[in-house]
Amino acid sequence: MKETTYLQENNRLIDFLKKIPVFEPFDETELTNLLKISKMKVYASRECIIREGSMDSLIYFLVSGKVRITKSRRDIAILKRRGDIFGEMGVISLAPRTASAHADGKTICLTTDFYLIENLAGEDRILFGYVLYRIFSEILVNRLKMTTDELMRFKGKGSLKFW
């Protein structure tokens, strides 16, 4: 894995981030502040990004490539949309990582250290916290909906019994 130092103001990078749906709520000043607590990381194919059971405070935003998510070595999902977020559950719950993530081909991620947000000035910290938790909520609602849909498909096949 190759990584940058913490990013600084970079108009080209800010313009790039503005095109990623998850960053649309942020204005230019907020994106500049976000870059100060973020790094770009480049992963080779099959390289481990997150190891199940590990702990850290990083949130990952997919910039390019694909990420294979596995739990107990079984595939759960492949993330391939620019702006897809992963690693947020461990940060929110302050618990060990519940799944592993591996690069599926060359993959670039923007990583943000969630706990560095605490070092931002008062109003910036509140705004970032609000926007990130709103993003997390949307992600978790969508994942819960997909899980419910999948559960209902299994129930419809008669292979799953409820209470």
Q: How many domains does the chain have?
A: 1
Inter-residue contact 103 to 45 (CB < 8 Å): yes
Q: Is 163 domain-assigned?
A: no
Q: Is 129 domain-assigned?
A: yes
Q: Is 161 domain-assigned?
A: no
Task: State how far the Cα of 37 lies from the Cα of 48, in Å rounded to an integer.
Answer: 22
Q: Is 54 domain-assigned?
A: yes
Instruction: Give the range of the structural domain holding residue 19, as residue numbers without chain letter.
Output: 2-156
- What pTM was computed for the model? 0.81
DSSP 40: E
Tokens of 69: 């998510």
Of the candidates 41, 6, 15, 38, the one whose C-alpha atom is nearest the C-alpha of residue 117 is 38
Q: Is 162 domain-assigned?
A: no
Looking up residue 9, the CATH number of its domain turns out to be: 2.60.120.10
Q: Is 35 domain-assigned?
A: yes
Encode pLDDT of 134-156 as tens digits: 777 877 888 888 888 888 887 77
Encode pLDDT of 85-133 as tens digits: 899 888 878 899 999 999 999 999 999 888 887 777 777 778 777 777 7
Torsion of CA 53, 57, 63, 66, to 10 degrees: 0
